[in-house]
Amino acid sequence: MRTFITPSFTGLLAVGLGLGFVSPASADDSTQFAARLAKLRREVEELSEQVENKKDELRGKLRSLAAQQSELEVERQREEMRLRQLREAKAKRIEQVDDDSKRDELFEPVVIRSADMLTAKIRTGLPFQPTERVADIEKIKKQRQDGLLKSADALTRLWDRVEDELRLSKENGLYRQVIEIDGAGMLVDVARIGMVMLFFKTKDGRVGHAYKKGDKWNYAFLVDREQQEQAIQLFDSFKKQIRAGFFLLPNGLVGPGGE
């Protein structure tokens, strides 16, 4: 006898549902998973874009740094060349200074001798402002000895003083200076005739002249009336700016008593 088992309607329904349908809970999970996956994909794409942007930015910075490095290298080479030129110029200047120093030392005795000769000439010549003129020469001499002046510059200044002396010999003028007469210093007006004669006039109107006795210059008042008038006329003419013309003058080289 054969026995048949007939499945129940409920079992068939369960099988049918298991084979042909998905539960609502499973569908929601799939949707959420797909959404998350899409979001992650977008985030990955955004991150990839950001990475590419950063790469481009970094490549730009690297190119800029490479260009700056090239410029710095060119500048470094330029500065090295300039440094070499400065060193060469310094070496040449040191060599030149050494030569100038030797030349300067060589000519220093010439400066000293020239200054001494000019000083001696002033002291033995007409006593026109001798203190000031000698002090100027001695100043040049001392500056050279102290190393404040090069020999060439000192010689140039001494030559200027020589030209001043030559100019004095060609000019006449009215000045004021201190002279020593009768053992006392006195500020007087002086009328200089080149570098040959020197007359003086005191505040009280007395006139006199400088004369040389031996190696020394002296001063004496004029006692002859005619000579006094001649000297006064000379001072008056100089005050009126009359420096050239015909003047009768006492013999300014002869002292009292024909000395």
pLDDT tier, 3 (very low <50, low <70, confident <90, very high otherwise): very low
My answer on whether 179 and 142 are in the same domain is no
Model pLDDT, residue 254 = 66
On whether residue 208 sits in a domain, the answer given is yes
My answer on whether 162 and 219 are in the same domain is no
Task: Please give the residue that has the higher pLDDT: either 233 or 254.
Answer: 233
- The C-alpha atoms of residue 39 and residue 222 are separated, in whole angstroms, by 131
Q: Per the structure, how many domains does the chain have?
A: 2
Averaged pLDDT for residues 240-259: 68
| Domain boundary residue, one of 170, 203, 219 | 170
My answer on whether 176 and 166 are in the same domain is no
My answer on whether 186 and 159 are in the same domain is no
| Domain boundary residue, one of 117, 137, 170 | 170
Written as six digits, the tokens of 167 are 């100019």
pLDDT surpasses 70 at 259: no
My answer on whether 46 and 166 are in the same domain is yes
My answer on whether 181 and 163 are in the same domain is no
Ramachandran region, residue 147 (left: φ > 0; alpha: ψ -120 to 50; beta: rest): left
**Cβ–Cβ under 8 Å, residues 239 and 189:** no
My answer on whether 97 and 162 are in the same domain is yes
**Cβ–Cβ under 8 Å, residues 252 and 172:** no
> Residue 252 is part of which domain span?
172-258
Model pLDDT, residue 94 = 65
Model pLDDT, residue 52 = 86
The phi and psi torsions of 28 (rounded to 5 degrees) equal -65, -40
Using alpha carbons, select from 73, 155, 161, 149 the residue that is nearest to residue 118: 161
Task: Please give the residue that has the higher pLDDT: either 41 or 157.
Answer: 157
Task: Please give the residue that has the higher pLDDT: either 12 or 153.
Answer: 153
- The C-alpha atoms of residue 19 and residue 23 are separated, in whole angstroms, by 11
pLDDT surpasses 70 at 245: no
- The C-alpha atoms of residue 129 and residue 254 are separated, in whole angstroms, by 20
| Domain boundary residue, one of 170, 205, 223 | 170
- The C-alpha atoms of residue 95 and residue 101 are separated, in whole angstroms, by 10
My answer on whether 146 and 194 are in the same domain is no
Model pLDDT, residue 159 = 95
My answer on whether 121 and 67 are in the same domain is yes
Which range has the worst mean pLDDT, 3-7, 78-82, 204-208?
A: 3-7
Model pLDDT, residue 180 = 92
My answer on whether 201 and 165 are in the same domain is no
Written as six digits, the tokens of 78 are 């330029």
Which range has the worst mean pLDDT, 130-134, 158-162, 182-186, 242-246?
A: 242-246
Mean pLDDT value across the chain: 82
Burial (Cβ within 10 Å: 0-12, 13-18, ≥19) of residue 199: buried
Model pLDDT, residue 102 = 79
pLDDT tens per residue across span 156-199: 999 999 999 999 999 999 999 999 988 889 999 999 999 999 99
pLDDT surpasses 70 at 243: no
pLDDT surpasses 90 at 141: yes
Percentage of the chain modeled with pLDDT above 90: 44
Percentage of the chain modeled with pLDDT above 70: 81
pLDDT surpasses 70 at 25: no
